[in-house]
Chain A
Amino acid sequence: MTARIFAYIAHKGGVVDDSAAELFAAAKKIDSAASPAAVVTGTGAELDAVCQSLRASYGEVWKVASESLAYPNAELVRKALVKVIPAGSVVLVAHNHFGIDLAPGLSIKLNAAFVSDVMGIDGLAGTSLKVVRQEFGGQVSTHVRCDISSGTVLNLRPGAFKPVDTAPVNGTIVDKSAEVGALTAGRRYLETVVAEAGDVDITKEPVLVSIGRGIQEKDNVAIAQELADAMGAVVSCSRPVVDAKWLPKSRQVGSSGQTVKPKIYLACGMSGSFQHLAGLKGNPFIVAINKNPKAPIFQVADVGIVADILEFLPALTDKVREAKGAHASR
């Protein structure tokens, strides 16, 4: 392949984002002979530290230093990248809140094809790149063909590409700052407002009864709460429950909510979207209860129960109380 592959690497506090190794692995899947270059934007000693750690794996690290890029404002980063990335390149970006902000507009300005939320790379034939995406909350997957003859920007799903072992390469740092010059944007970063702490801290709970859209209405949350009370557990939830204002944001598990690490996770009436599962760490014992036997959650759960949670949870609550009563009377 003649096109160069660039990976835009995010970083924070001088520390490279986990996606650096994943984007590298994806670049190798597109072309095993490629020597992908990392591109980083930022300023000062933090940016230098980032360049130093990236050169262990990337043969080239393109550095764009500018005071205006101290905070990663996607509009400014886009303008910087458009100035330095050669036409026809393949640009890889992590599909997260920053990638969603940056990549679609970047593809327009580079006149490149764009594919969002890529979770697999099938291979390149000429200028046709075949990738894998999911649609409808992961219920079906699709092969997508992308014509990369004038370049492409690909947003890659975090966690989908397993990092590969590579020998240290002692890569070259290429300073591209002078090509960028002064940047201005119609959107300006003001501040980050940290999430308010909730009434309970779901991140520290060993057992979570977690509810999704299948709870259907606010009054039904009590059904889950009764089970949680009986088990000595706490109720958490997925995004639709917070969107509907049935539970506070502090109870949400997922990439835009809390990261939890329980021993046991009861996933009740939820599909198991990757954004939700991204908040579930520490290899818990996952019990999925869903009336749709094809729900993606059954692929990741240890134990599955095909049932309507509105019927099954009360039955389970009764049994838990019974079991506890028997235990107490012993």
Chain B
Amino acid sequence: MEILVCARRVPDTSENEIQLNGKGNDIERDDLVYSINEADNYAVEEALQIVAKSGGNVTVVTVGTDEDEEILRRELAMGANHGVLLSDDAFSGSDGKGIATVLKGFVQKGKYDLILTGVQAEDGGAQVGGMLAAMLDYPFASLVNSIEITDGRKLKVGREIEGGNKEMNEIDLPCVLSIQTGINEPRYVGMRGIRQAASLEVPTYGAADLGVDKASVGEAAAKVKCDDYFVPALGKGAEILQGTSEEIADKLIELMKAKGGLQ
């Protein structure tokens, strides 16, 4: 099976405190630790597992700038066959639809049976996969937490719905699936693998290569734009207990006793 995984490089919220920049028009991006979006990494692992069972290739693609190439190399080190960067000044400022338009251009250059995305980016809206599927007229399923290959033209996929329940669907190929975290256990990527991937070729395609009309992407085409960032006014907020660990623990135990939580 030929599988395309659409991935993104994002600030890693488990490694960073996200703060506003001085102007309030963006977050403070200096010194942030970036990594591949967590759900996208699960998507790559799932693609690798499918290919290990049924053959084929895994291509990882991202829309971004030269800086974003590092996540492609990381996923190559993980075992992906190809990494491709889609980059053009014209793509800058794209909204979700603009990104989906660029990806559509790339999909149509090749022949993929299955397209995977992460369910959502840290700063995104769980939107590009569903948009891309609609543009291609492919079937789509979001929040996918299991994939089973039933025959050459169909998959059986589980979706995570409320209460830990799972909705099972049959879906025709080619299709687009957005992958939920936890679907598998992504393999570890060591420094050695990343060093080896450093010399691999990562081609870059621009708007002209993809046959993408520059007027349909980028800031000018974007109907959705971020105005500013702010930290919401706190509600009442928690009463922060102060003191040494011991003092805090004593206070907390008294509070929990008063609430009937400690007999």
Once the chains are docked, how many angstroms separate the CA of A101 from the CA of B256? 42
- In the complex, are the beta carbons of A316 and B162 less than 8 A apart? no
**A220 shortest CB reach to chain B, Å:** 15
Report whether A186 and B160 are in contact in the complex, using a CB–CB cutoff of 8 Å: no
CA distance A292 to B15 in the complex (A): 11
Whole-angstrom distance between the alpha carbons of A109 and B137 in the complex?
10
Contact A141 B231 (CB under 8 A): yes
- With an 8 A cutoff between CB atoms, is B201 at the interface? no
**A87 interfacial contact with B, CB 8 Å:** no
Residue from B14, B156, B168, B238 in contact with A288 in the complex, judged by beta carbons closer than 8 Å:
B238
Q: Decide: A142 and B171 in contact? CB cutoff 8 A.
A: no
Q: In whole angstroms, how far apart are the Cα atoms of A107 and B98 in the complex? A: 13
The smallest beta-carbon distance between A278 and chain B, in angstroms, is 9
- Kindly specify which of A1-9, A29-37, A49-57, A245-253 makes contact with the partner chain: A245-253
The answer to whether B127 touches A140 (Cβ under 8 A) is no
| Interface contact A117-B126, CB-CB below 8 Å | yes
User: What's the nearest-Cβ distance from chain A to residue B57, in Å?
Assistant: 23
Q: In the complex the two chains form, what is the Cα distance from A103 to B178 in whole Å?
A: 14
**Residue in A187, A239, A263, A287 whose beta carbon sits within 8 Å of that of B139 in the complex:** A187
Q: Which of B1-9, B61-69, B79-87, B240-248 forms part of the interface with chain A?
A: B240-248
CA distance A11 to B167 in the complex (A): 16
Asked if A190 meets B170 with Cβ closer than 8 Å, knowing A101-B130, A114-B97, A140-B230, the reply is yes
Q: A74 to B263, alpha carbons, bound, how many Å?
A: 50
Contact with B along A116-144 (1 / 0, CB 8 A): 11000000000000100111110111111
Given A97-B162, A191-B168: A104 touches B252 (CB 8 Å cut-off): no
Per the bound structure, the CA–CA distance linking A159 and B138 in Å amounts to 32
What separation, in Å, do the CA atoms of A305 and B27 have in the docked complex? Answer: 26
The residue that B127 contacts in the complex, of A116, A242, A263, with Cβ under 8 A, is: A116
Min CB–CB distance B239 → chain A (angstroms): 5
Whether the pair B241, A315 counts as a contact (CB closer than 8 A) is no
Residue on B nearest A295 in the bound complex, by CB? B17
- Cβ-defined contact, A298 with B246, below 8 A: no
A146-B223 contact given A100-B142, A192-B165, A315-B246, CB 8 Å threshold: yes
- Report A-chain residues with C-beta under 8 Å of the C-beta of B253: 316, 319-320, 323
- Separation of A259 and B164 alpha carbons in the complex (Å): 10
Shortest Cβ gap from B253 to chain A (Å): 5
Answer whether A263 and B259 are a contact pair too, CB < 8 Å, given A104-B96, A141-B232, A187-B139.
yes
In A187-213, which residues have CB < 8 Å from any B CB? 187-195, 206-207, 213
Tell me if A117 and B163 are in contact (CB < 8 A). no
Given the interface pairs A130-B227, A319-B249, the reply to whether A187 lies near B142 with Cβ below 8 Å is no
In the complex, the answer to whether B248 meets A299 with C-beta atoms within 8 Å is: no
Contact with B along A223-241 (1 / 0, CB 8 A): 0000000011100000110
**Closest Cβ–Cβ distance, residue A51 to chain B (whole Å):** 24
Q: Is B118 an interface residue when CB atoms closer than 8 A count as contact?
A: no
Contact A141 B134 (CB under 8 A): no
Stretch with Cβ within 8 A of B (4 or more), from A60-68, A164-172, A174-182, A306-314 = A306-314
Q: Is the CB of B129 within 8 A of A144?
A: no
A105 and B224: CB pair below 8 A? no
Which residues in A have their C-beta under 8 angstroms from that of B239? 302-304
Q: How many of A's residues come within 8 Å of B, CB to CB? A: 98
Complex CA gap A116/B226 in Å reads 13
In the complex the two chains form, is B224's CB within 8 Å of A193's CB?
A: no
| Closest Cβ–Cβ distance, residue B31 to chain A (whole Å) | 15
Q: Is the CB of B55 closer than 8 A to any CB of chain A?
A: no
**Chain B positions 142 through 166: 1 when the CB is less than 8 Å from some CB of chain A, otherwise 0:** 1100000000000010111111111
In whole angstroms, what is the CA distance A320 to B254 when docked?
10
- A144 near B235 with CB under 8 A, answer no
Give complex CA distance A315, B241 in Å.
Answer: 15
> Does A145 count as interface, using CB distance less than 8 angstroms?
yes
Does B141 interact with chain A (Cβ within 8 Å)?
yes
- Interface residue B20 (Cβ < 8 Å from any Cβ of A): yes
Partner of B226, one of A142, A152, A255: A142
Of residues A259, A286, A301, which shows the largest number of chain B Cβ atoms within 10 Å of its Cβ? A301
Asked if B175 lies at the interface with its beta carbon under 8 angstroms from chain A, I say yes
Task: Tell me if A188 and B238 are in contact (CB < 8 A).
Answer: no
Q: Are B18 and A139 in contact, CB atoms less than 8 angstroms apart? A: yes
Q: Shortest Cβ distance from A241 into chain B, in angstroms? A: 10
Interface residues of chain B, those whose CB is within 8 Å of chain A, are 11, 13-14, 17-20, 27, 95-97, 100, 119, 122-131, 133-135, 138-143, 156, 158-172, 175, 178, 181-182, 185, 223-232, 234-235, 237-241, 245-246, 248-250, 252-253, 255-256, 259-263
Can you pick out 24 interface pairs between chain A and chain B where the beta carbons lie within 8 Å of each other?
Answer: A73-B169, A97-B162, A100-B143, A101-B142, A114-B131, A115-B224, A116-B96, A116-B124, A116-B125, A136-B11, A139-B18, A142-B227, A187-B170, A190-B156, A195-B166, A207-B262, A242-B182, A298-B237, A298-B240, A299-B238, A304-B237, A307-B245, A315-B245, A327-B263
Interface contacts beyond A104-B96, A155-B125: sample of 17 additional A-B pairs, CB < 8 Å, sorted by A: A75-B140, A97-B160, A104-B130, A113-B95, A117-B125, A141-B232, A146-B224, A187-B169, A190-B168, A206-B260, A263-B260, A286-B238, A302-B238, A304-B241, A312-B249, A316-B249, A319-B249
